[in-house]
Amino acid sequence: MAILRKRNSLEMPKPQSPQFAAIPSVDRLLHEPAVKALAEAYGHSATADAVREVLAEFRAHLNTDDGSARAAPEPEILVQHITDKLEDSAAPSLRRVFNLTGTVLHTNLGRAPLPVEVLEAITDAALHPTNLEYDIGKGRRGDRDSHLEARLCALTGAEAATVVNNNAAAVLLTLNSLALRKEVAVSRGELIEIGGSFRMPDIMARAGCRLHEVGTTNRTHLHDYANAVGDRMALIMKVHTSNYVVEGFTAAVPESDLATLAHDHALPFVVDLGSGSLVDLKRWGLPHEPTPRETLAAGADLVTFSGDKLLGGPQAGIIVGHADLIAKIKRNPMKRAMRLGKLSIAALDAVLRLYDDPDRLAEKLPALRWLARAAIKIEAAATRLLPAFTAWVGERGTVSIVSVHSQIGSGAQPAGALPSAAIAIHPSGGKRGRGSRLKKLGEALRGLPVPVIGRVENDAFVLDLRCLDDEAGLISQLAAATSANGKPQP
């Protein structure tokens, strides 16, 4: 009887509504000419999955309290949804954007773009076998660092060099190789944290060495380092203070004095430069950044720096310095886990070769070209872009040209400001709800075919044009968005 009662308590299935019955089956849709064409373009399996997902979504849409009042979708609508789903699925996640933030070396936007001269080298390495770790002359296994070492030594004055996949890895590998289970002296004012929660004390802990803090946040003296030296000390380290500046009552020890102290105690002196400019930026009217050559000349035994910041190359961490220390680092088993692949090596080698012609370096390296761009030229570009932005914004706000300041970014000259010009969009309406309207403007700009990334400043959405190379492309997509449906896009 219990079983009978349980069966009797079950609800009988509701009769299928005409709207449900009108929805075509998966098989029927797959035989539609338009869907067959999609299967040819995207593959049968992916297309069938998209058809099932779209049909399930429409059935769920109808299966509501008022579902009986909803009309079944037309086949053309189903096909359009299937097409949209396939296009979204096939689109790459990594996309080009317009960097109008005013930060040239923007970590979130890929830092330094590569010059066009690099493309041939990357393509050649990608399409064909290479002598990545093969010595053609000797006919035996070679060292992948050999493709970069000679040029890096020539550019920095180092005895030897090695390369890993980023500067955090370069610091980690150096510390683990030279200071495992020992102490490293670093000023408290240099215990940096940069983007992505990268903290120098954490890297040191992961490297297996013990941080020995010296001095204070704003003032560190030579005797602070001298007092720290003991039997457990493995090296003295100086770190570039990325993303911030301590001003006022400050003191720091010159690198030459730290080098002398370290060498008097038979200790290596290591400097993490971070940004890694290979040339004096003053040549282009920019703030000076210390170079690896200068740092080695001041007495550093090893210098670590990035390849994708001021150097203008691909993501890489570069270590240059004394040959015996580089050899010890290269023997570390972790080196293999951090090594560069052939595409990055090809790209970095091609960029380093551009430094053979320093007179045309700013023409070749996009990041350096953007940094050296004169404010008057940026303002002229803003004037040309103003009508396109005015039409695109429409009644949503007012558009004007404003003077702004760009920054280098990625830890280089955090207090340095570069005069620039920008398009400023002030949303319509009063102060109430302005934040929401600014957010919608940002969403609309990011929704363009090539997303436009800017910043909010002084109650306006600001688009700094320093890094804009494709002016025609930006104007074209603004015009297309404006003319769509005869009105600005929401």
Are 134 and 154 contained in the same domain? yes
- Is residue 134 situated within a structural domain? yes
Q: Which pLDDT belongs to residue 216? A: 87
CATH of the domain at 440: 3.90.1150.180
| Cβ contacts of 39 within 8 Å, gap of 6 or more | 30, 47, 48
Q: Tens digits of per-residue pLDDT, 366-385?
A: 999 999 999 999 999 999 99
- Is residue 481 situated within a structural domain? yes
- Is residue 3 situated within a structural domain? no
Predicted model pTM: 0.87
Please give the full DSSP string across 260-284, using - where no structure is assigned: HHHHHTT--EEEEEES--SS-GGGG
Q: Which pLDDT belongs to residue 412? A: 56
Burial label, 249 (beta-carbon count in 10 A; 0-12, 13-18, 19+): exposed
Q: Which pLDDT belongs to residue 108? A: 93
Are 27 and 133 contained in the same domain? no
Q: How many domains does the chain have?
A: 3
Q: Which pLDDT belongs to residue 244? A: 60
Residues of the chain with pLDDT under 70: 1-22, 63-72, 194-198, 242-246, 410-416, 485-490
Range of the domain at 331: 114-364
| Cβ contacts of 108 within 8 Å, gap of 6 or more | 195
- Is residue 56 situated within a structural domain? yes
Are 132 and 48 contained in the same domain? no
Determine contact, residues 274/305, Cβ cutoff 8 Å. Answer: yes
| CA separation for the pair 320, 315 (Å, rounded) | 16
Q: Which pLDDT belongs to residue 21? A: 66
Q: Which pLDDT belongs to residue 185? A: 95
Backbone phi, psi, residue 236, to 5°: -110, 135
Q: Which pLDDT belongs to residue 3? A: 45
Determine contact, residues 249/219, Cβ cutoff 8 Å. Answer: yes
Are 342 and 403 contained in the same domain? no
CATH of the domain at 152: 3.40.640.10
